[in-house]
Chain A
């Protein structure tokens, strides 16, 4: 059951704490803490078992199936996979991003803003706000969305409706809630009708107002306890993401930018089609998840974080006024005014992006191009295509090669949770080092580990929903494989201490 520990010094002297799985992210993650003989945490491992098989799932299929097929990789952000695949297969039909018809480009952007809005709304209002509003140390039975709906009914309802609005944007553009066919090779399947556009315009001002309110709320919550929010699970890291040519925040298409923890630029305006020259994926024996790093900095120094915190840190500006104002305030809060490393600041950055999405949706809905009829372009067939977008959780890479029969012969995907793999491990290690005392596994420790992981909003389920199959478990295991302490968190939230 327990594999050898391959990296730690004096591995024969380490104990293991296994937490399996992590609640309020998904049911298929577990955390292993490796302890030395003095019970100090030496290493943390977040195991995510569900990312295997992505490439195998895609290989052997005709490329034109991919925008629909890849949505089934993930029930949480299917539109992100849909658009990344569409960008990749654009190239297979000879269309580079700058040659995509204007209407198609804007419709895809609108679709993407809808997706990011609904995903961020779900994370904040449903998964994070119970912790943030009631406090991380409050009664665990209270920390759920129902309690939010009961005690903060207006806020809770806003979350539900923001989520619904984003879903409606997706439905209007792709025709369905799920398995839609909005994006196709070289363009889009349909544009918006005036009636569809007007329907979405009805609520957009309200959506912007709610999003702005959410930013104000998270700022207030964060700043009300700065020592905690700025220090908890905080790690100074490199950051990676797309930006526009002028350095502004970009979610759909741009160049790769990476920055050091001190804000210095590592690389900028890199064509993502050359990502293999800049990013290497390390494989480790104990997990299916790879560990990507920036080749220029090497394996030890080159790992990076992606997602809202990375994007807001990396960009020079945001091209919508309310979100830009929020970004400036966010940056001013950091001690240097340059980079914000607090892991809990993921929440703040996520809501700044939510506001940006809402503002951008309004801009696009008022742009007549989204009702245009020039939707598809065609060029010379190619045999390789790479699509990269900023998914809600971070940079998402889709890379395909096809044969002369248009069948995918090779696929490589780097999902954002993979890019954040090392960051999550480090955040978990830091929390465990602070909260694990002796050989006792405690509920506060478990809770704090979950809070750290949840800040990243990792996607661990990828569309399976066999709920309740696995309870949450923490095990303390010595180097001989003997369990010396065990906590079980049952599916009803009850925690049982099962000592051996």
Chain B
């Protein structure tokens, strides 16, 4: 039986701040009730992850981001053709687009929690700044997952991230 809520964190634990997505998953596993939540992680997103979206009500992608201007950011995702189709790693919006193309239906309501990362070198630990960002993002994610309904999540889009 597929759990209705999917949290998908992606990144590489051994590449500095790229670890933020998987680290947030580890933190959440200790803090939240997982009875109706499935947690998945991978190095990067790919076409087959579209199949993980089947029969979900809410999906939360979690990733480190170099372009995030605040400690973290929360946004709603739309299916989108973007340039990431042509690399070994896809954006979450591109995965939604693949889902839409395969299933011929709109993807489940999906959101992206981006955590600001600064350095992504192999063998590095996450930076101090990134760890601070991770703490703030974890608190925010906890609130989301304690209020698992689309209205609450949409309200959080108005959150002042600065």
Say whether A360 faces chain B, with CB atoms less than 8 Å apart. Answer: no
- Choose one: B42, B43, B87; the contact of A467 (CB below 8 Å): B87
- Provide the bound-state CA to CA distance between A369 and B153, in Å: 50
Residue of chain A at shortest CB distance from B10 = A465
Determine, out of B11-19, B30-38, B128-136, the stretch whose residues face the partner at the interface. B11-19
- Provide the bound-state CA to CA distance between A73 and B123, in Å: 9
Say whether B91 faces chain A, with CB atoms less than 8 Å apart. Answer: yes
Say whether B157 faces chain A, with CB atoms less than 8 Å apart. Answer: no
- Provide the bound-state CA to CA distance between A493 and B86, in Å: 10
- Provide the bound-state CA to CA distance between A78 and B43, in Å: 9
Most-contacted residue by chain A among B48, B89, B122 (CB, 10 A): B48
Say whether A345 faces chain B, with CB atoms less than 8 Å apart. Answer: no
Q: Do A493 and B101 touch across chains, with their CB atoms under 8 A apart?
A: no
Q: Do A178 and B41 touch across chains, with their CB atoms under 8 A apart?
A: yes
Q: Do A53 and B47 touch across chains, with their CB atoms under 8 A apart?
A: no
- Choose one: B43, B82, B102, B117; the contact of A463 (CB below 8 Å): B43
Q: Do B101 and A150 touch across chains, with their CB atoms under 8 A apart?
A: yes
Say whether B75 faces chain A, with CB atoms less than 8 Å apart. Answer: no
B residues in contact with A178, CB < 8 Å: 41-43
A residues in contact with B91, CB < 8 Å: 467
Say whether B50 faces chain A, with CB atoms less than 8 Å apart. Answer: yes
Q: Do B102 and A149 touch across chains, with their CB atoms under 8 A apart?
A: yes
Residue of chain B at shortest CB distance from A27 = B87
Residue of chain B at shortest CB distance from A119 = B88
Per-position binary interface string of chain A over residues 124-167, scored 1 when its CB falls under 8 Å from any chain B CB and 0 otherwise: 01110010000000000001111001100100110111011001
- Provide the bound-state CA to CA distance between A161 and B51, in Å: 9
Q: Given that A24-B86, A26-B87, A164-B48 are contacting pairs, would A463 and B101 also be in contact in the complex, using a CB cutoff of 8 Å? A: no
Identify which of residues 296-325 in chain A touch chain B, using a CB-to-CB cut-off of 8 Å.
Answer: none
Say whether B85 faces chain A, with CB atoms less than 8 Å apart. Answer: yes
Say whether A334 faces chain B, with CB atoms less than 8 Å apart. Answer: no
Most-contacted residue by chain A among B10, B83, B98, B123 (CB, 10 A): B83
A residues in contact with B98, CB < 8 Å: 145-146, 149, 160
- Provide the bound-state CA to CA distance between A53 and B91, in Å: 27
5 nearest A-B residue pairs (beta carbon): A75-B43, A24-B86, A72-B14, A149-B101, A144-B85
14 new A-B contacts, CB < 8 A, other than A161-B51, A464-B18, A466-B18, are A25-B87, A26-B89, A72-B12, A75-B88, A76-B43, A126-B47, A144-B85, A144-B86, A149-B98, A177-B42, A463-B14, A463-B18, A465-B12, A468-B84
Binding site for A on B (CB under 8 A): 10-15, 18, 40-48, 50-51, 63, 66-67, 81-89, 91, 97-98, 101-102, 117, 120-123
Q: What are 12 A-B pairs at a CB distance below 8 A?
A: A26-B87, A57-B14, A72-B12, A78-B43, A144-B86, A146-B101, A159-B47, A163-B46, A177-B40, A463-B18, A465-B43, A467-B84
